[in-house]
Amino acid sequence: MSIIERKTYLEYIKRYIDKEIIKVFVGQRRVGKSYLMRMTSNHILKQNLRANIIFIDKERYEFDSITDHHSLIAYVDATLSNTAPNYLFVDEVQEIAGFEKALRHFQNKGNIDIYCTGSNAEILSGELATLLSGRYITINVNSLSYIEFLEFHRLDDIDDSLFKYLKWGGLPFIKNLGKDDEIIFDYLSNIISTIVYKDVLYRYKIRNVEFFDRLIQYIAANTGSLITSKKISDFLKSQKIDISPRVILSYLQYLQNAFLVYKLKRMDVNSKKVFEINDKYYFEDWGLRNAILGLNHFSVPDTLENVVFSHLKHLGYHVNVGALKDREIDFIAQKGNETVYLQVAYMITDQKVREREFGNLELIKDNYPKYVVSLDPVSIGSQKGIKHIHLREFLKTDKF
């Protein structure tokens, strides 16, 4: 199996190899968690050919008999080596009932380095947090960054490559599908079905499939717009579907638990107060969003904010939407003591657009970096310390 190293992740993981702490890769299905575990196991074998790698993939038939912590413990105990270091990898660990008890058992033995993946945020709560508090780290796995996308697809850093990134998104497997839009969108549509049916409808025992289809369509069509559960409820009522705002909030949380979408709350720029209503939703992978709406409805301008948000998340920033009196700042990105403000526009076509995008940021009186990100082919320069940056250059930035 040929592995293209996702170097940022590998460098991070290296720090924890052979440490007595469980490594938990979390993220949406098909973002590459299994891939990262294979990459990690390959690295371990390069360092020590004697390493005993135990790899359990719950999506493969041969591991169907491992259904609970008892069968997991029995399988692993039977494959442990007494003469070589042991490394346990469990893919989609949430498919195994009581898995956290098995992980605690293995960790207490002290002779196994443990790695696992999960596609639902709930694996980090409940019994896992209780039984293994302080004994595990989470590694959040995202879709490919733009730089990774170029490497995976063997593309040059040109406008056409950026256009493909905006259209297809960053799921790693797409590199195996050639460059046929229809085939790629069929694949993305199937991923949506898997996430919705397996990680949401089946997991939470929801039978109203039609409602979920409408809900996801609504979120995709309104990505980057302020949304309330009441607004969604009113829309659905107009479609002859009567669902209360309370139920909608629960269903939106399920979509977040599956890492399909992320909720961004509004934050007052001056007081840093976080508002409890009017949130924005962005997709983990905007290619999935594009597939939900259909290839014929793909729009570059409608994708830009999601791509910018995803890159900020990739860089480890916590992101909010900024509120400044009656104005909106697209993103407030925070990491440690760093803060960055960003406005996103398709093109700065005239003075009115320039005043809106730069003017909003000019109202912020602190000295943190401020950027306007757009697709203008020529830099339009800075204005009162606010920098303009082309999207392609922004996506190659690893710090601000």
| Per-residue buried b or exposed e for 81-95, using 16+ beta carbons within 10 Å of the residue's own CB | eeeeebbbbbbbbbb
Helix (H, G, I), strand (E, B) or coil at 262: strand
Using the predicted structure, report yes or no on whether residue 1 has a pLDDT greater than 60: no
Q: Quick one: what percent of the chain has pLDDT higher than 70?
A: 99
Return the ∠ at Cα 304 (arms to 302 and 308), rounded to 5°. 145
From its phi and psi, is residue 399 left (phi > 0), alpha (psi between -120 and 50) or beta? beta
The two tokens of residue 308 are 């910018």
Residues 119 and 258: beta-carbon distance below 8 Å: yes
Q: What does the pLDDT look like over 221-256, one tens digit per residue?
A: 999 999 999 999 998 888 888 889 999 999 999 999
Cα distance from N-terminal residue to C-terminal residue, the chain: 36
Confidence bin at 3 (pLDDT 50/70/90): confident
Q: Tens digits of per-residue pLDDT, 39-73?
A: 999 999 999 999 999 999 998 999 999 999 999 99
Q: 146 to each of 27, 135, 157, 342, how far by Cα in Å?
A: 18, 33, 9, 18
Can you give the pLDDT at residue 2? 64
- Give the per-residue pLDDT at 265: 97
What does the pLDDT average to over 9-23? 96
Q: In terms of Cα–Cα distance, which of 44, 34, 140, 132 is closest to 91?
A: 34
SS3 of 52-110: the string is: EEEEEECCCHHHCCCCEHHHHHHHHHHHCCCCCCEEEEEECHHHCECHHHHHHHHHHHC
Q: What is the pLDDT of residues 360-378, one digit of tens each?
A: 999 999 999 999 999 999 8
How much of the chain exceeds pLDDT 90, in percent? 85
d(CA 102, CA 98): 7
The band of 327, judged by pLDDT with boundaries at 50, 70 and 90, is very high
Confidence of residue 277 (pLDDT cuts 50, 70, 90): confident
pLDDT tens, 131-174? 788 889 999 999 999 999 999 999 999 999 999 999 999 999 99
DSSP string, 108-174: HHSSEEEEEEESSGGGGSTHHHHHSTTSEEEEE--SPPHHHHHHHHT--SSHHHHHHHHHH---GGG
Residue 275 DSSP class = P
Instruction: Using the Cα atoms of residue 67, residue 71, residue 72 and residue 75 in order, give the sign of their dihedral.
Output: negative
* 228 close to 293: Cβ distance less than 8 angstroms: no
Per-residue pLDDT tens digits for 286-317: 999 999 999 999 999 999 999 999 999 999 99
Look at residues 388, 314, 352 and name the one whose alpha carbon lies nearest to residue 142.
314
- How many other CB atoms sit within 10 Å of the CB of residue 145? 20
Give the per-residue pLDDT at 132: 81
pTM greater than 0.75: yes
DSSP 162-213: HHHHHHH---GGGGGSTT-HHHHHHHHHHHHHHIIIIIIITTTT---HHHHH
Domains in the chain: ranges and CATH: 7-140 (3.40.50.300), 144-400 (no CATH)
**CB contact at 8 A, 374 and 348:** yes
The overall average pLDDT reported for the chain is 94
Do 120 and 93 form a contact (C-beta atoms < 8 A)?
Answer: no
